[in-house]
Amino acid sequence: MPELPDVEVFRQYLSATALHKTISRTRVQSREVLQGISPAGMGRKLKGRRFADTRRHGKHLFVAIEEDGWLHLHFGMTGFLKYHKDPETGSAHPRVRFLFENGYRLDFDNQRMLGEVGIVDDVDRAVERMELGPDALDISSATFIHRYEDRRGGIKSALMNQEAMAGIGNIYADEVLFQAGIHPLDRVRDLGAEVLNDLHGAMRRVLKTAIDRQADPDEFPDAFIIPRRKAGATCPRCKETIKKIKVNGRGTFVCTACQPPPG
């Protein structure tokens, strides 16, 4: 699930639920997801402290630990957060749990364990170390054009490259390209500054709309292609049949009428 809009919704959720509450203990159910810290180390770092603030960069979420560093959460393909009180109705795969003195807990659920939980001292340095590009909602049109105009290769893989720009994954890349009327296999170099500028605008609109709708495809506008990610669905714009292709090994949905394939 988690691309930029999903992680932004997680950030807002955590901010609304788990900030400023004293942590009584942590429970690590699957230590494979811990990065660079032991379960005991995690417990020592958090016990008796409170989460104080949140930041997001691309698909990464950071949670300030009162006066001492940041919790770093990365969700992989299957992660989400759940703040709840009842151990019975909690999440199905809670890999790490943060228990609060008020009886609630925040679960880091991560079915496939492709996510990561760690501690970092400084968010900016962590972003630098992971070699993440500018956040897709922060990047200006000028920087966007600058970073892409000389790239070789296809536009979809470029949008998904987290070093070029952070936050876009397989699903939202398809949506952004659909909204911009650009085929995922178009060569970046052939697009030109004007088209890149349009693409940047389409990207901002898609991301903001998705966040407005809580990243819930059921709430997306009719003009979005995300809720129609299945072979044989019809294009919301022209009613042609949506095609499924592979781009860099990833399932990719296109309307070849609205997104003409490269020559």
Partner DNA sequence: AGTACCACCTGACGGC
Partner DNA sequence: TGCCGTCAGGTGGTAC
From the list 179, 190, 178, the residue with the least C-alpha distance to 151 is 190
Which of 103, 194, 239, 249 is close enough to bind DNA by CB under 7 A? Answer: 249
Residues 213-242, interacting with DNA (CB under 7 A): 215, 217
Inter-helix orientation angle 141-148/192-212, to 10°: 120
Is 109 among the residues that bind DNA (CB under 7 A)? no
Is 147 among the residues that bind DNA (CB under 7 A)? no
**Rounded Cα–Cα distance for residues 200 and 204 (Å):** 6
Comparing CB distances to DNA, the nearer of 18 and 247 is: 247
Residue 53's φ and ψ, nearest 5 degrees, are -165, 165
Residues 42-81, interacting with DNA (CB under 7 A): 58-59, 74-77
Is 250 among the residues that bind DNA (CB under 7 A)? yes
Is 184 among the residues that bind DNA (CB under 7 A)? no
Q: What amino acid is encoded at 12 in this protein?
A: Q
Number of residues lying near DNA (CB under 7 A): 35
Is 134 among the residues that bind DNA (CB under 7 A)? no
| Minimum CB distance to DNA, residue 143 (Å) | 16
Is 1 among the residues that bind DNA (CB under 7 A)? yes
Cβ neighbours of residue 256 closer than 8 Å, sequence gap 6 or more: 183, 240, 243
Which of 6, 107, 135, 186 is close enough to bind DNA by CB under 7 A? Answer: 6
Which of 162, 197, 209, 256 is close enough to bind DNA by CB under 7 A? Answer: 162
Residue that the structure tokens 């009584």 belong to: 24
At 33 the three-state DSSP class reads helix
From the list 2, 20, 242, 5, the residue with the least C-alpha distance to 137 is 5
**Rounded Cα–Cα distance for residues 53 and 257 (Å):** 46
Query: Could you tell me which stretch among 20-28, 34-42, 44-52, 166-174 binds DNA (CB under 7 A)?
Result: 166-174
| Minimum CB distance to DNA, residue 89 (Å) | 17
Query: Could you tell me which stretch among 17-25, 97-105, 147-155, 176-184 binds DNA (CB under 7 A)?
Result: 147-155
Which of 94, 133, 134, 154 is close enough to bind DNA by CB under 7 A? Answer: 154
Cβ neighbours of residue 106 closer than 8 Å, sequence gap 6 or more: 14, 17, 18, 81, 82, 83, 97, 98, 100
- Tell me the torsion sign for CA atoms 47, 51, 55, 59: positive
| Minimum CB distance to DNA, residue 238 (Å) | 23
The binding site for DNA (CB under 7 A) comprises: 1-3, 5-6, 32, 58-59, 74-77, 93, 111-114, 130, 151-154, 157-158, 160, 162, 169-171, 215, 217, 248-251
